[in-house]
């Protein structure tokens, strides 16, 4: 779910149905909000170029050069903007 939201910005019907079977309306709402707010925080921090804490300095960055092979999404491909972004 998180990968799908991050890669395409929405959930397909099959993913939603699976989540809903397990978590119901309230649980799905909480999952989507939590995932979306986390993505918002990371985008704000990246946009402001806030450095990682010293103990995390060696963690590789994930961005437009990342892939999510289990979703069949390659974020490195050129989108309409020519820079990998849609």
* Domain range list for the chain: 2-74
pLDDT at 12: 92
pTM of the predicted model as reported, rounded to 2 decimal places: 0.58
* Tens digits of pLDDT across the chain (86 residues): 888 888 888 899 999 999 999 999 999 999 999 999 988 888 888 888 888 788 877 776 665 555 545 445 554 554 444 444 44
**What is the spatial distance between Cα 52 and Cα 32, in angstroms, rounded to a whole number?**
25
Rounded alpha-carbon distances, angstroms, from residue 67 to 43, 48, 64, 74, 76: 17, 23, 8, 5, 7
The Cα angle at residue 61 between residues 58 and 65, in degrees rounded to 5: 145
| Alpha helices (H) in 1-86, listed in sequence order | 2-8, 13-47
The C-alpha atoms of residue 45 and residue 43 are separated, in whole angstroms, by 5
């Amino acid at each position: 779910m998180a990968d799908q939201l991050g890669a395409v910005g929405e959930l397909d019907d099959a993913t939603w149905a699976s989540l809903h079977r397990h978590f119901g309306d309230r649980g799905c709402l909480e999952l989507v909000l939590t995932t979306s707010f986390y993505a918002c925080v990371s985008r704000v921090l990246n946009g402001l170029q806030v450095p990682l804490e010293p103990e995390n300095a060696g963690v590789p960055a994930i961005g437009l050069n990342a892939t999510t092979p289990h979703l069949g999404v390659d974020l490195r491909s050129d989108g309409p903007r020519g820079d990998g972004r849609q």
